Amino acid sequence: MASIDTGGDSGQKKGPGVKKAKKLSTRVDMTPMVDLGFLLITFFVFTATMNEPTTLDLNMPKDIKDQKEQTEVKESGVLSVMLGKDDVVYYYEGKLKEDGSNFKSTDFKGIRDIIVNKRKEVMGRYVRDPECEAKMAKDKKPLSNCADKDFVVIIKPTKDATYKNTVDILDEMTINQVRTYAMVKIFDQEYELIKKTEEFNKAGIK
């Protein structure tokens, strides 16, 4: 709102019979503008959406004790991946042999090639499943999903692995289009092989 203030005499004489002119000035009242500003601030505070923390969705397998309810997978299509310290990745295909002869190590660059080659190998052995292919066609999904179901990656982080290692290996699952994977607890035999491998590498024994 604005108001008009009247000033005093200008100090000039206009002659006899002439009234003296009054000096006029305006003043703007900023109180309504301040009230409006606070109302706008309050509105934006209550209507704004706060930034939500970015999280990684990870579905852990259920602990099912009944063997009849457990999901069966082909041993030839399983790739077990273990995360050690210093960004070292250990792996073996199928079932771990008693002598540990199929237990190997690599890095995150090498594990990508291993995943890609293993996936191609499993898909090359795929036997057509008309029921699965019909379901994929009905759901408008790639028929390759039927072959991918036989390829399973088991991820087993050790206590020496970092959070970054876990995120990196999960990213590899997405990059290489691994349809079925799970994160489980590492076995004692596997952890012992990792420790022995670290001791051999430290001593310079290959």
For the stretch 8-54, pLDDT in tens is: 555 555 555 556 666 666 777 778 888 888 899 998 888 877 777 66
pLDDT at residue number 106: 93
Does residue 10 belong to any structural domain of this protein?
Answer: no
Whether residue 20 lies inside any domain: the answer is no
- Look at residue 31 and tell me if it is in a domain: no
In a domain? residue 2: no
Mean pLDDT of the residues in the chain: 79
Binned at pLDDT 50, 70 and 90, residue 205 comes out as: low
Domain residues for the domain of 117 are: 74-203
Please report, rounded to a whole number, the percentage of residues in the chain having pLDDT higher than 70. 74
Total domains in the chain come to 1
Residue 125 lies in a domain: yes
Give pLDDT, residue 193. Answer: 93
- Give 105 or 61, the one with higher predicted confidence: 105
162 within a domain of the structure (yes/no): yes
pLDDT digits (tens, 9 = 90+) for 171-185: 999 898 888 888 989
58 part of a folded domain: no
Instruction: Count other C-beta atoms under 10 Å from residue 90's C-beta.
Output: 23
Mapped onto helix, strand or coil, the DSSP state of residue 156 is: strand
Whether residue 85 is contained in a domain is answered as yes
Structure tokens at 85: 């310290």
Residue 115's pLDDT is what?
Answer: 93
